[in-house]
Chain A
Amino acid sequence: MIEIAGIRTESFEDGIGIRVVIYFQGCKHYCHNCQNPHTWDFGKGNEVTIQYLLNIIQNDVLSSGVTFSGGCPFCSNNLDEIIELAKEIKTLGYNIWVYCGEKIENLNEKQLKLLDYVDVLIDGMYVDKLRDDTLAFRGRSNQRIINVKEYLEGGNSNTSIRSL
């Protein structure tokens, strides 16, 4: 089971293409002025199965990708299941974007396992005062859009960040 805070279908704002966004429950970053503080506490979301989420994704006929958001997917108590979910989603042919409060350089070994299935990572804390409404797919200028494959193949987060 995976604990989620919510789901959004047909999103235009959480990555390239039309996407299903899964908001996982639980976050340990506690950013100042967070937009979704109700997603912080563990145990306050809904428990769903991987199959339930896969059904929702497949029923959203226009979507070509899935975005993991939160909360923070990397903070979730269900990281193993989330990795399993990501694997299934990739098998179905969708691309995966992930929003994460941690910097990519600071992810631990287990967290890095999820990256095997992730195409794009948008990393960095939500720093309220760095607001910039003109940016693509992110609201704060410290957030970076990282091509995960390039990063893992030995590039660093600077060369693999696409400017959008």
Chain B
Amino acid sequence: MVIKRNGSKVEFDSYKITIAILSAFNETKEGNHEIAQNLTQKVVNKINDENMHVEKIQDIVEETLMQEGFLKTAKAYILYREEHKQQREFESDLLRRIAKLSKETSRDNANVGHSSASKMYQIGGEASKTYYLNKLIPKNLSKLHSEGLIHIHDLDYYDKTFNCLSIPLTRMLKNLMDYEFEYGSIRPPKRLDSAMALASIILQRISNDIFGGTMFPNIDITIQELVDEKYIKKPTDIEIEQSVQSLLYNLATMNTRAGNQIPFSSITFGLEQGEYGKKFTKALLNEFNKGMGKGETFIFPNLIYKCLKGVSWQGSPNDDLYNLAVEVSCHRMNPTFSFLDCEYYKQFDPKEVNPMGCRTHVIANINGESVSEGRGNIFPTTINLPRIALKTKGIIGEKDIKDFYKKLDAVLEGVKELSMHRYSILANLKAYDIPYVIGQHVYYNSENIKMDDTIEEALKHGTISIGFIGLAETCKTLIGVHHGESDKALELALNINKYIKDYCDKLTQEMSLNWTCYSTPAESTINKVIKDRKDFGLIEGVTDRDYYTNSFHVPVYYPISIARKITIEGQFHPFNNAGRISYIELSAPPIHNVEAVKTVHKHMVQSGVGYAGINFPIDECRQCNYSGIIKDVCPKCGSSEYKKIRRVSGYLGFEERINKSKEAEINDRFKHDTVN
């Protein structure tokens, strides 16, 4: 009998040994079937125990091959054993993770719940990740991820689809019949309410084709154009209100991706000055402010208000809407604000600047027009900068900067290679792999792609991004201070950020693909910190917290004035052309103080901040739906049942659904407006 690895016993079968030796011979050509049989006999003679463990038998095979002079074959046999061992380990590791997920879904993504569909989805994701890391991605590259030097975003979708899309809603609603669904087509809408209902269906369908977020850019311009060009009837005020309600409710409640999550949706608006665009904006803000059925804060969609000189500021045609947008943001944390007057945006048409709620924006295009609609990010890859700094020669606080850049170069090369590996696979997908977004020609320049063509002609208009986390911890490691506390560190931090941006620009020119530099929100960095802590020890200001600081942000725990934080962070905005956002933290909703928030906005514009949000806690009573700050009990009804809403990685979410790393970060956030 033979004892297997799982402890069970099976009948001894000598032929299995012959087969194993033969497959090793196959590689080395040192022997044939007959020799293999002879060797098997020698092995069998050595087996003296009635019940022998399979590993012990394999040891004897190895030993026999060597004793008999088949050295190459012995080596091949050892390798074969090792590979099988790894295979078994990764399978059992996968099974362990599946078992864990079946009990409780992971909280890496604040938008994933605990339903059966979520479990099914995450288990599929785990299996995919294991496969990609062990089989598909070249070993030297997957090692960068496993070691923690880089983070491959949405690894579970590595070869399946791309990240996000700005939806060409105007074009689609005008020509809706051209975009067929699985079982047929839909006639274009003739009224605003049906247009908005169909917009939701379009967004849902698109979400199912991609792994990231979707956006309606310039929805106010879309509405005005549909009315002006008589695609839809002039809506009455009540119709506008009802259409907005239907849009908001749909985006807040519908499920995508096998029912496991609400789609990440964003809407940008603010530039349209025509009557119907303005009325729509006003209704959108008012309905968003009212909240859901019982007044609950809308978690989705994410609203982004666009501000532009001559349009939005005091004395301009849309200053009423800007004021209203600020008022709503003081209550609901959204909209966030995009400031189109900042220097970096001046080269673009303001209409084409549309950050999504997650901060990603896609503008410049080396392969075509620099437009937003129909394009998106393909995927980002993030560099764990603190780890590179920790590996740099020298002691903490006095590291060899030259050596840091040398090591950064090597990682950048790795990210480039990995990105090209991923991009090549995706570009070679067929249109039927992305059936709606490419198959139905939603994507930019996909008009001539047929169902069994590859998608490259469209995909090359997307962006490939290189992101980074922990610039603050990197400075701490290299020179002992971060850029919030020292000008020297600020200079170093700016140089490092610019270095990555320059590398992206260089690749864009060399490869004619849109490489962009991304400010990564650091949503699941806890594993990186824990690993770095294990490898390099507990280092103050570097590995002593359960998260790394978001991209170039001044650390959230660091006491600093609003003015200074914005002045510092604004200098980083131009480098991060794949998207970035700056936040300030308040201890309560500034609901009575719109003026204060407008002052902050002015300072942001002056400081070059292109996109910003103001964060504060929103507590919502589950009894009476009061929203504001709840200290133990609701100030309105006295109930102690309430939910905590916080902004994480660009999107709002309930605190109980947020992962440990982000929870630690939220608790550390320094509130600028508290007594110092």
Contact = CB atoms under 8 A, between A and B. Distances in A.
6 contacts: A10-B562, A10-B672, A17-B593, A62-B561, A62-B599, A62-B600
A17 B596 CA distance: 4
Given A9-B676, A11-B673, A12-B586, A134 B596 contact: no
Contacts of A13: 588, 593, 673
B675 A8 contact: yes
State the majority secondary structure of interface residues on A. loop
A16 B563 contact: no
A60 interface: yes
Contacts of A11: 673
Give the 4 A-B CB pairs with smallest separation, nearest first. Answer: A136-B592, A133-B635, A17-B595, A18-B596
Contacts of B563: 10, 60-62
Interface string B52-75: 000000000000000000000000
Interface string A1-30: 000001011111100111000000000000
Contacts of A62: 561-563, 599-600, 603
Contact of A60 (B561, B586, B593, B635): B561
A137 B592 contact: yes
Interface residues of B, number: 25
A164 B592 contact: yes
Given A133-B628, A133-B629, A64 B673 contact: no
B171 interface: no
Interface of A: 6, 8-13, 16-18, 60-62, 64, 131-134, 136-137, 164
Contacts of B590: 12
A136 B588 CA distance: 12
A108 to B, nearest CB: 30
Contacts of B672: 10
B332 to A, nearest CB: 16
Contact of A12 (B596, B628, B631, B636): B596
Contact of A134 (B561, B562, B636): B636
A17 B561 contact: no
Nearest to B595: A17
Contacts of A16: 593, 595-596
A116 to B, nearest CB: 24
Contacts of B599: 17-18, 62, 64
A77 B193 CA distance: 66
Interface in B545-586: 561-563, 586
Given A8-B674, A12-B590, A16-B593, 14 more contacts: A6-B675, A10-B563, A10-B672, A11-B673, A12-B586, A12-B596, A13-B588, A13-B673, A17-B595, A17-B596, A60-B563, A61-B603, A62-B603, A136-B592
The residue among B588, B626, B675 with the most chain A CB atoms within 10 A of its own CB is: B675
A6 B676 CA distance: 9
Contacts of A134: 626, 628, 635-636
